[in-house]
Amino acid sequence: MAVTDSPRQLSLNRSALVQWYQRNRERSRLLFDLIDPSVYYSRPISLRNPIVFYEGHLPAFSLIAMVKRGLGRPGVDERLEQLFARGIDPDNEQTAVPRSGAATAWPRRAEVLAFADAADEVMLEALREAPFVEDRPAMRRGEGIFTALEHEAMHQETLLYMWHRLPYEHKHPPKDLRYEFQASPIPPTRVVIPAGVATLGADRDRIPFGWDNEFDEHRIEVPVFDVDALNVTNAEYLEFVEAGGYRRKDLWSADGWELVQHEQLEHPIFWLRREGHWFWRGMFEDIPLPASWPVYVSQAEASAFARWKGRRLLTEPEYHRAAFATPQGDERAFPWGSDAPDPSRGNFDFTSWEPVPVGSRPAGASAWGVHDLVGNGWEWTSSVFGPFDGFAPMASYPEYSADFFDGQHYVMKGGSSATARELVRRSFRNWFRPNYPFVYAAFRTAGPADTRR
C-alpha cells in the first residue's frame, strides 16, 4: 500500500497574527468613524463604490480569502459576502455607475456592522484555533491568512484618499492635528546612478508572503542614468502650472490630455486657488500651499511635467537601482539598509495625515543619497504594470493582478504616509491608471547621466 505524505502543518505565530488582525480592524473602524453618517452612501470619487461598500468589503474579503478559500470553511452570510466581494476599477464614470447604487440598494450601516462583527468572530476563532494545514492551494505558506491581513491594510489607504475628497464639514479632525512645513535641508541635486544590476521581484522561499505580481525574482541590467535626489515639490510644479503646462497638448499623452479636458484641470486636484492664493486641499482644512511638500499628481501629470523639463520618469528597474543598489555592488532590503521600517526612515505607516517636506527623513536615504524612495508619496514610474516570468495567479485571490495586465496601468513603488509598514518591502508593487489623480503619488525626474561631472 502506497504511503502518502500528510499535509504540512504551518508553524505561524498565532498571537502575532491575531494582533495584526485586531490592529487592522481597529484602524478601519477609526477611519469610518472619522466621517459623518450623512455621507455613508455617497461616492467621494465617482470611479469608486460608495463608502458603505468598503465597510462591508474588508470583512467579506477576509472571510473569502482565509476562511473559505484558505480553510475550506463556510462564511457567515453568503448574500453579503457576494455583495461586498470585489471593488471596481472602471475606465470612466459611465461604467462605474451601475455599481454605485443608491442608499436603498445597500444595507443599513447597522446590518453592515453586524456582519462585520460576525466575520471578526469567525476570523479570530480561525486565527487562534483552526488547523493551519497546507492541504489547500490557498493555504500554502499561509497565503490566505496574509492575503486577508495585507488586503485590509492596503484598503485603509484607499479609504483615506477617498475621505480626502469629502467636504470638511463631513469629517471629524483629530485633536492632535499638526503639520510639518520646514524647508528641506537637502539641496535639490541630481544623482548619477551607474550602470548595474537591479533585482526585481522576490524569491518565494525568502519572504513569508508576497502578492502574485511580486514573483519571480529576476535581475535586469540597467544603463547609467541620473535622477533627482528629491521628489518634485509643490513649488517646482507651480512653475509648470504658471507657465501654462496644462494648456500645452504637446506635453501630454492621449490619456493625460483626456483627463485635462474632461476634468477641466488647470492644476493638481490636491490644490485650490482662492482670491489669488494657492492652497493645499488637506484632509481636514485648506492649507496655504506648502512649497516644500511633494506634489501629488497622476502619472499623466507627472509625465507632462517631466517632458516640460526635457526629462522623463524613472522606470521600475531604475527605481530599484536608485533605491536598493549600493556603490559596492550589492543590494539592500530597504533604501537605508536592513533595519526594519520605523518613523525615522520615512513618512509611512499612518504617521501623518499629510506629506512632510521632501528630504526631511534623511535616515531613510538610499546609498546614493536619493531621498523619500519609501514613504511621503508613492513613486510613479513609466513602466506598464505586467507579470514577471514565473507569474501564477494566487489561489487566495486569483483576480488580484491578472485583471490589470491590460496595458492601461502603471507601476508605482515605495509608499505614502498611509501605507502600512507591513507593505514596505522591496518587491511590493502598486499600480493605477495614468489618468487617475486621487492617490497619494509623487514623482521625480530622470534622464541620461552626464558622466563628465
3-class DSSP state for residue 181? coil
Based on C-alpha coordinates, what's the Rg of the chain? Answer: 22
CA distance 143 to 135: 12
Eight-state DSSP code of residue 182: P
Whether 103 has a pLDDT exceeding 70, the answer reads no
Give the pLDDT band of residue 223 (cuts 50, 70, 90): very high
pLDDT at 8: 84
Contact 201, 214 (CB under 8 A): yes
Average model confidence (pLDDT) for the chain? Answer: 93
Whether 46 has a pLDDT exceeding 90, the answer reads no
CA distances from 177 to 95, 174, 180, 184, 249 (A): 38, 6, 11, 21, 40
Contact 153, 423 (CB under 8 A): yes
Whether 424 has a pLDDT exceeding 90, the answer reads yes
Contact 196, 325 (CB under 8 A): yes
Partnered with residue 200 across adjacent β-strands are 218
Cell (9 digits) for 256: 493625460
SS3 content of the chain, % helix, strand, coil (to 5): 35, 15, 50
Q: Where exactly are the structural domains of the chain?
A: 14-169, 190-233+292-447
pLDDT at 5: 60
CA distance 245 to 160: 29
What CATH number was assigned to the domain covering residues 190-233+292-447? 3.90.1580.10
Residue reference for cell 485650490: 272
Q: Pick the range with the lowest mean pLDDT from 29-38, 94-103, 315-324, 414-423.
A: 94-103
Q: In 3D, which of 10, 49, 23, 12 has the Cα closest to residue 149?
A: 23
Burial code (b: 16+ CB inside 10 Å, e: under 16) for 2-16 equals: eeeeeeeeeeeeeee
Q: Tell me which architecture the domain covering 14-169 has in CATH.
A: Up-down Bundle (1.20)
- Structure confidence by residue, pLDDT tens digits, 106-122: 999 999 999 999 999 99
- Structure confidence by residue, pLDDT tens digits, 257-303: 998 998 899 999 999 999 999 999 999 999 999 999 999 999 999 99
